[in-house]
Structure 1
Amino acid sequence: MAIAKLGTVVLDCPDPLALADFYAGLVGGTPKAEEDGSWVTLSGHGGTDLAFQLAPGHVPPQWPSANASQQFHLDLTVEDLDAAEEHILALGAQRLEPGEPGRAWRVYADPAGHPVCLCAC
């Protein structure tokens, strides 16, 4: 029996509003910042809220690395992988590995270095 439901996914980052704007460009929604800018919530996109928390000492995860944890990553489902790739790169993501023909996902880093996978539905 479940005792909880997923409320928000929170990402540490050096610039919460900039990272919220990046994800708003991917999934939609509207970023709402706390007065001091240390916390920004992205909601209104039809999925679980994303929040971005100021972490001045943020160290991006390494992808892939046998010596360091990726910490976590987001899988975003898309209909057109090529079009989605063009869009995510234009928003400021970086490709983390070359795509393989026929593979249904591609891996990127968001502007704060978190891994993000675009997955064809």
Structure 2
Amino acid sequence: MHTRLSAVVVDAADLDSESSFWHRLLGGSMTKTVTHHFLHVDGFPVIVIQHATGHVPPQWPNGVSQQMHVDLTTDDTAAADERVLGAGGRRLRPSDDAGASARHTGSRVYASPAGHPFCIRST
């Protein structure tokens, strides 16, 4: 038996905002239904943004656990930071902490519009 990851499913109260964010960040193509938006990006499993009435974003790092997160890699952390913020994401740490973290661990921590934490790590 062979098992492999086929999709990452992201809950969101606002499908358009969340799916637009991931599409702007990763590119690819989008297929939409009333309750799900499917983002297809070469080299990734499908990212499915699923409508979740009453979705409550994680309050990580100072509250409810992050539940799950995605790690992305980049060869230009500064450009990736601009792209994330321009697409509607936000840093989960002040920029000074993000800079110190990037120098120390090679990663920065963000949240999507629906509040889902994710990391961008330098390659």
For residues 18 and 33 of structure 1, what CA distance do their matches in structure 2 show? 13
User: How far off is 1:40 after superposition?
Assistant: 0.7
How does 1:59-78 map onto structure 2 within 5 Å?
Answer: 59-65=56-62, 67-78=63-74
- In the other structure, the counterpart of 1:32 is 31
- Answer yes or no: is the 8 Å Cα contact 2:26–2:41 preserved in 1: no
User: How far off is 1:30 after superposition?
Assistant: 1.1
For residues 70 and 117 of structure 1, what CA distance do their matches in structure 2 show? 12
Which runs of 4 or more aligned residues in structure 1 lie more than 2 Å from their structure 2 counterparts after TM superposition?
A: none
Deviations along 1:16-45, one digit per CA (max 9) or x if unpaired, are 2321121111111111111x2x10100033
The count of aligned residue pairs is 117
User: Greater relative contact order: 1 or 2 (C-alpha under 8 angstroms, separation 6 or more)?
Assistant: 2
- In the other structure, the counterpart of 1:84 is 80
For residues 109 and 83 of structure 1, what CA distance do their matches in structure 2 show? 17
**Aligned amino acid, residue 110 of structure 2:** Y
- Answer yes or no: is the 8 Å Cα contact 1:81–1:119 preserved in 2: yes
User: How far off is 1:3 after superposition?
Assistant: 3.8
Deviations along 1:43-77, one digit per CA (max 9) or x if unpaired, are 03331110000001100001213x52110111111
Q: Which moved more, 1:19-28 or 1:72-81?
A: 19-28
- Answer yes or no: is the 8 Å Cα contact 1:19–1:52 preserved in 2: yes
Q: Which runs of 5+ in 1 are unaligned?
A: none
- Answer yes or no: is the 8 Å Cα contact 1:27–1:45 preserved in 2: no
TM (norm. structure 1) is: 0.89
- From 41, 44, 47, give the equivalent of 2:44: 47
TM (norm. structure 2) is: 0.88
- The share of aligned pairs that are identical, in percent, is 39
Q: Which runs of 5+ in 2 are unaligned?
A: none
